[in-house]
Amino acid sequence: METWIEVLVFGLQRGAIFGLVGLGLALVYKATRILNFAQGELGTVPAFTALLVMTGFETVGDKAVDRGMLIPAIVTAIAVGAVLGILLYVVVIRPLGKVSPVTSLVATAGVALLLTTIELNVFEARARRFPRPVNGGFDLPGTDIIVDWHTIVILAVLAGVALALAAFFRSAPGVALLATAEDPFAAELQGVPVERMRAMAWGAAGALGALAGILGAGVFESLTPGLVTSTFMIPAFTGVVLGGITSMVGAVVGGFALGIVSQAAIQIVTTYELDVPGPPQLAVLVVLLAVLLVRPQGLLGKSA
């Protein structure tokens, strides 16, 4: 029983990161009908920026991080994420013009490769120590399980982001964004600055990515080039599809589901001593194929 509670705790921790990445993916998809493959790197690049701030801008050394710089580092990272998101939209996506969703996915995949390569060349292909905002953990009452404070921080941040987004979509600019997503032409006729709304969605996705990058690197307490793309983005993609690709609530629900399923897959393989390598990756593929077979519009989606 206790192992399964542990699966749940770790599943929620990973799932919350998937949810943060997924919210960025769903927001951009909602606003511009683009599946942003670079969303993961909108997390890794700001995380490296935070590391730079905390180490006094040392790119390759092993200098210890200055925890006193934590808050400025996080603020800088979020700003970098937002600016990167807007730049991505203005410099890459908008000049593409009206192209198929597949073509824009290819373009964002190119951007992801570009950013990862820059990280590799600037920071070298190795892991750097990355701090958690809050260290340590606490005993879960009635069990021997120690829950990291970091898990609580991630869940709290996700809850805060979800509340902020819910409030945003009830405000005037939020409604304007929804109108842009629904019918850009009609929105423009109503005086909605469509281009600005779209750029804003990309910027918000970048800020969400930055949060996912910082907290995700904190999960492993280490940061490598391409980290968010390789560890969090594909489950997040699957979570978004599971939740219904344009649904913000679905992205979070799907993220949690994928987090728990991945951790359960690891636990099942360990418990029954199965000779199956890479259980989380197998679980992600199985879930994705199952969703597409059974309910392609996702749990909370309206149409596929």
Partner 1 sequence: MSDPDVDPTGLIHEEEVWVEEVHAARRSSRLPRLLVLALIAAVVLAIPQVVDVVYINVVSRAAIYGIIAVSMNVLVGYAGQASLGHAAFLGVGAFASGYALTDLGMPFGAALVVAALVGMAAALVLGGVALRVSGLYLALVTIAFGLFAQETLFNIRFLTGGGAGQTAPRPELFSGPVAYAYLCIGVLGLVLLFDWRLTATRAGRAIQALRDDERVAASWGIDVTAHKLMAFIISGGIAGIAGGLFASIEQIVSKEDFGLSLSITFLLMTVVGGAGNRWGVVQGGVLFAVLPTLLDRTHENFHVFPFTELTATWEPAIGAILLLLTLTMFPGGIAQQQGALLSWLGGGPFKRDPDAHTPAQGGGMGARP
Contacting positions for partner 1 (CB under 8 A)? 35, 37, 92, 95-103, 105-107, 109-114, 116-118, 120-121, 226, 229-230, 234, 237-238, 241, 276-282, 284-285, 288-289, 292-293, 296, 304
Report helix, strand or coil for 31: helix
Q: Please state, in angstroms and rounded to a whole number, the distance separating the CA atoms of residues 246 and 130.
A: 33
| R_g of the chain computed on alpha carbons | 19
Residue 56 vs 278, nearer CB to partner 1: 278
Residue 159 vs 274, nearer CB to partner 1: 274
* Nearest-approach distance from CB 134 to partner 1, in angstroms: 31
Residue 29 vs 256, nearer CB to partner 1: 29
Contact (CB, 8 A) for 68 and 192: no
* Nearest-approach distance from CB 15 to partner 1, in angstroms: 17
* Nearest-approach distance from CB 204 to partner 1, in angstroms: 22
Chain centroid to Cα 104, Å, comes to 19
* Nearest-approach distance from CB 284 to partner 1, in angstroms: 6
Residue 161 vs 228, nearer CB to partner 1: 228
* Nearest-approach distance from CB 117 to partner 1, in angstroms: 4
Q: Residue 163 class from Cβ within 10 Å (0-12 exposed, 13-18 middle, 19+ buried)?
A: exposed
Contact (CB, 8 A) for 184 and 11: no
Annotate 226-239 with DSSP letters as a single string.
Answer: THHIIIIIHHHHHH
Residue 159 vs 285, nearer CB to partner 1: 285
Residue 88 is classified by DSSP as I
